Amino acid sequence: MSVTPRKSLGQHFLVDDNILGVIERLAELDASDVVLEVGAGLGVLTRFLAERVAHVHAAEVDRRLELHLAGIPRTTLHWGDAVRLDPATLDPPPTKLVANLPYNIATPIVAESLVRTQLEAWCVMVQREVADRFFAEPSTKAYGAVSVLVQLATERTGLHPVSREVFRPKPNVDSALVAFRRTGPGADPRVKRVVEAAFAHRRKTLANSLSLAGLASRDRAAEALALIGRAANVRAEALEPREFLTLTEVLR
């Protein structure tokens, strides 16, 4: 059965088996792994994973793909919005996220998965600019809230550019596989609020951004910045990820 990809779902189906070996290497797949795959699509990656790991949890929102995904061994299908899927509720619990992520949910899926402590490693196919953003350096254009949140919890272990030819339809943007592993817990809600507020108004100073978000008065934010050794007129992109942890504590 032919299935036309839906732009509204960010669908670009993986159709080239050659990239699977790269995914296997970057994901460091092991026979004992339990993998969460978001955006199973036509099942090309799902079947590959199921042949190599203990179990696959495949999440897919598009019921038209049911015939392509039915009957894959050692695989549990989860139908619905993957953003609302809590990996902590899955049995057996997944330890890795390996997926060709739909473009329109890639960033929130990764950001939310960081706080699921049983996930130890990620290998995800995303737009190249998103892959670069995850591990962008401070004081660069790509550095932002998601950079801080990802880097507080993980370290990058691999990056591989991906040709547009491996997808149908071919996307209008470049893609990349990015792999990373957990080095610490995800940011708690307080830290996440500070980080997101800090980058909500990139052209404003950090003190003004925190004030606009209602997290502190401008004067209080400036005092907190002074206590961590930063000037009152500093912008969010100048801070290293771990400085946001210290800033959050000082603001309390």
Can you tell me the distance from the alpha carbon of 29 to that of 185, in angstroms, rounded to the nearest whole number?
A: 22
Torsion of CA 87, 91, 97, 101, to 10 degrees: -70
Q: What is the pLDDT of residue 124?
A: 98
Segments of the chain scoring below 70 in pLDDT:
1-2, 4-5, 7-11
Residue pair 39/13 in contact (Cβ under 8 Å)? The answer is no
Q: What is the pLDDT of residue 8?
A: 65
Sorted by where each starts, the structural domains of the chain and their CATH numbers stand as: 7-182 (3.40.50.150), 189-251 (1.10.8.100)
Both structure tokens of 227: 């206590």
Both structure tokens of 208: 């003004």
Using alpha carbons only, what angle is made at residue 178 by residues 116 and 2, rounded to the nearest 5 degrees? 90
